[in-house]
Amino acid sequence: MRTPAQVPHAVPPPPGGGRRTLIVSASMGAGHDTVAAELARRATSYGHEPHVVDVLRLLPCGLGTGLRQGYRASVRHAPWVYAGVYGAFLRGGGPRPSGVPLARLAGDRLTGLVDRLGIDVVVSVFHLAAQLTGHLRSRGVLRVPSTVFLLDFAVHRQWLHPGNDRYLCLTDAAAAEVRAAVGARTVTTGPVVAPAFRAPAPGAARWRERFAGRAPGRPPVLLSAGAWGAASGLAATARTLAGAGYLPVVLCGRHQRLRERVSRVPWAVALDWTDDMPGLLCAAYALVDNAAGQTAVQALAAGLPVVGHRPLPGHGADGVRRMAGLGLSEYAPDGPALLEALGRLAENGRERTSLAARGRALFRCDAMEHVAGL
């Protein structure tokens, strides 16, 4: 714990002696902010005082907004561009010990916020934030511990910086990669999801009634496109599922044009943003996923089988394949393989039960325990 002399103005500790925790997220879709919100909720339950900041807002001159808009445009309309960037700068190659130059532009604003709020520990849930905190810690500018919650199944080099004190990882394999690359302390905690995903979902009955009214006898299969509606060939996948007797339920996020396009597919249900994901997941037969992100881990928590199909380029493709390689999901490279995988997931069948058990076992412990215990 810092002494009052270490900050410009001493800040009284939170009531009850808890820690002030700064969680550094990024408004890139909804996944990072969803994790940040849940970590903040857990911090409060430990008697700590959480603060959440968007690292993109810490960048000067509107750079964060430009970065977000450019990434969204590329994954929606030119995924090959992002695939090239990912292959050249993120995949493999070990850590980036000097930090990403872009991240360093947010350094003064972050350290100013830490001092002004009297922060005791910083937690990064986005790779650019991990580069920033690692760089500042290695220079001695950030004087409080830095933890990185690495929320990807496939570790890429922009998450890695030897200046960070601790990494919390989804899997033992990811933790081993981090230790080999930067030598940091690592803990395998599993994903972070809200408690509602691991409990009976009151909203499931309403969704089942809706789906049965739309198409009796057709098992509802969710197709995820994330908050931005970024996906390849969703309408074609929906037609494949409908032709095989399933009810395709497409999660279009906040992409209105995607919703309009999918709505024209016979039998397809095109959903915009929904806040009742626990109920929706509990009412479905399976999730067809393209990113191995938060929707996928929420499905694992709910016991819903996940099938990776037509993954997004870059970290999406690596994550989907890594999930399947760990036995947490199925991977279907084409339409026939997708139907074959779904056919093996019969209700109460051995393969479905086995996938559900492995998915739930992924949730090892509360990540915030290891932040609170620093």
What average pLDDT score do residues 342-352 get?
91
Q: Which of 226, 21, 30 is nearest to 124 (CA)?
A: 21
Q: Which of 311, 300, 153, 154 is nearest to 223 (CA)?
A: 311
The whole-number pLDDT of residue 72 equals: 83
Q: Which CATH number fits domain 198-361: 3.40.50.2000, 3.40.640.10, 3.90.1150.10, 3.40.50.9100?
A: 3.40.50.2000
CATH topology classification for 4-188: Rossmann fold (3.40.50)
Name the least confident of 9-23, 40-54, 135-149: 9-23
CA trace torsion 158, 188, 20, 15 (10° rounding):
170
User: What span, in angstroms and rounded, lies between the C-alpha atoms of 317 and 232?
Assistant: 12
Q: Are 308 and 292 in contact (CB under 8 A)?
A: yes
Q: If pLDDT is split at 50, 70 and 90, which confidence band does 229 have?
A: confident
Order the strands of the 20-25 sheet from edge to edge.
49-54, 20-25, 121-124, 146-150, 166-169, 185-188
Q: Does the structure show a pLDDT above 90 at 243?
A: yes
Kindly report, residue by residue over 251-270, the tens digit of the pLDDT. 998 889 899 999 999 999 99
Q: Which of 75, 192, 198 is nearest to 125 (CA)?
A: 192
Report domain extents, the chain: 4-188, 198-361
Higher pLDDT among residues 15 and 370, named by residue: 370
User: What span, in angstroms and rounded, lies between the C-alpha atoms of 65 and 369?
Assistant: 33
Does the fold of domain 198-361 match that of domain 4-188?
yes
The whole-number pLDDT of residue 15 equals: 62
Kindly report, residue by residue over 40-98, the tens digit of the pLDDT. 999 999 999 999 999 999 999 888 898 888 888 887 777 777 777 777 667 765 665 55
For the entire predicted model, the pTM comes to 0.91
Name the least confident of 91-95, 141-145, 258-262, 272-276: 91-95
